[in-house]
Amino acid sequence: MKKILIILTCVFTITTLNAKWFIGGELSLDINKISENKKYAYSGDSSTSTAIGFMIAPKTGYLF
């Protein structure tokens, strides 16, 4: 009798949950000018290089 009651309670709880799906994410672009002898360059520095980073981070889930 206990097993049947527990199973029925679990089934009822699972079927009546108000859950939501979600889809989202993040998109970013990072641009840094780097000097050869300094950590960061200023606009008048002639010996600079540029580092470009791009990131896509998708996110999906189920909230209940």
**Over the stretch 6-50, which tens digit does the pLDDT of each residue have?**
888 888 877 776 667 788 999 999 888 776 655 555 555 556 678
| 57 within a domain of the structure (yes/no) | yes
| 8 within a domain of the structure (yes/no) | no
The structure's pTM equals 0.41
| 46 within a domain of the structure (yes/no) | yes
| 35 within a domain of the structure (yes/no) | yes
Q: Which two tokens stand for residue 49?
A: 């290089």
| 58 within a domain of the structure (yes/no) | yes
The boundaries of the domain holding residue 54 are 18-63
Number of domains in the chain: 1
Handedness of CA 40, 45, 47, 51 (dihedral sign): positive
